[in-house]
Structure 1
């Protein structure tokens, strides 16, 4: 549940805590409106002291031989691109289990049918990272990661682009490029 009554209340909170947002919405950064929408959807929380954006994230590891599927880059509506090199990742919604978030991620991000997805729950690992958000420069963020491995069918052998089909969102990302990469070249810390 969003703790702010309006986007203006969110803006006032950021100003109160000295968090500049002038660069937001430019280049490959998300906008103040994007943060408001994340709060409205319950995908993130803001903590007061110290100011902190808290995000629950599921990352799914899909292996093929000695490689792992990664989102190589994102292309935004304004033509900017952001290079990622991260496994499929998704914010966990309120009341959603880690497994449901993982399935939703693979359906939305890769267009997979439920029947094509097998999650290995024995591989579930967790870790926490505090960092400055790439999406919202200057906003300290805590990412609570849940890693799961999955076996899927129906993915292309090589690189491929996929249009963003996130339901009910005004996500600034237009499309994603997916690629198979050697395990050792993968970042397991996301900045969704």
Structure 2
């Protein structure tokens, strides 16, 4: 993007590209300011003509018998809760490996220390998805998904909430709800 580096300039650029941001910031959607923060943090790349948000993320599958740990919901400062039903997922920052992002995400979203995480050898898969993220309605997004299994110690047996360690650093999610669910409950990647 060759425009002035401001949130206002980003919003104007999105409008010029035909992306309506009037619904952003409501009902679980993030704001233009959140998109700007993702761009500045190196969490995403943004391309034009046509606009495309490019995200690399890692999904960590943590199994307990026939159940997998899922993020059930996210709660924002406003108190709004967005339902999720996805395994722990974290965006890769510029230059970060998927393992580093996984360790960072598990710490920020559940307080898991790195020494309590053991990645399962030969479980790694990578795939791509083109979709529109519910975080930014109307903005096409291309995901590069790194999927890995991990063994993690110290997790509760019941559903639990965890305060987001990254909340003060610009992440709009205040806390996450986690729980063990049958693998069949995981919806397809969207």
Q: TM-score range by the shorter chain?
A: over 0.9
Deviations 1:129-152 (A, max 9, x none): 111110011111111100000001
CA distance in 2, matches of 1:118, 1:60: 11
CA contact (8 A) 2:110 2:164 kept: no
The equivalent residue for 2:25 is 25
Match of residue 41 from structure 1: 41
Establish whether residue 112 from structure 1 lines up as the match of residue 112 from structure 2: yes
1:71 aligns with 2:71: yes
Compared CA separation, residues 119 and 109, structure 1 to 2 (3 A): same
Alignment partner of 1:85: what SS? strand
Partner of 2:155: 155
- How many residues align? The count is 189
Unaligned runs of 5+ in 1: none
Further displaced range: 61-70 or 115-124: 115-124
1:12 to 2:12 alignment: yes
Give a deviation string over 1:143-167, Cα, whole Å, max 9, x none.
Answer: 1100000001000011101111116
* Whole-Å separation in 2 of the counterparts to 1:102 and 1:87: 11
Check if 1:183 corresponds to 2:155.
no
Give TM-score scaled by structure 1 length.
0.93
Q: TM-score, normalized by length of structure 2? A: 0.94
**Gaps in structure 2 of 5+ consecutive residues:** none
Using the alignment, how far apart are the partners of 1:3 and 1:91 within structure 2? 24
The whole-number CA distance in structure 1 between the counterparts of 2:166 and 2:124 is: 24
Q: CA RMSD in A?
A: 1.5
Q: Could you tell me how far apart the structure 2 residues matched to 1:76 and 1:130 are? A: 26
**Separation of aligned partners in 1, 2:122 and 2:2:** 35
In 1, are the aligned partners of 2:167 and 2:174 still within 8 Å (CA)?
Answer: no
Deviation at 1:26, TM superposition (A): 1.6
What are the equivalent positions in structure 2 for 1:126-165 lying under 5 Å apart? 126-165=126-165
Structure 1 residues 154, 117: CA separation in 2 closer, same or farther (over 3 Å shift)? same
| 3-state secondary structure, aligned to 1:122 | coil
Q: Distance in 2 between matches of 1:12 and 1:44?
A: 19
What secondary structure does 2:122 align onto? strand
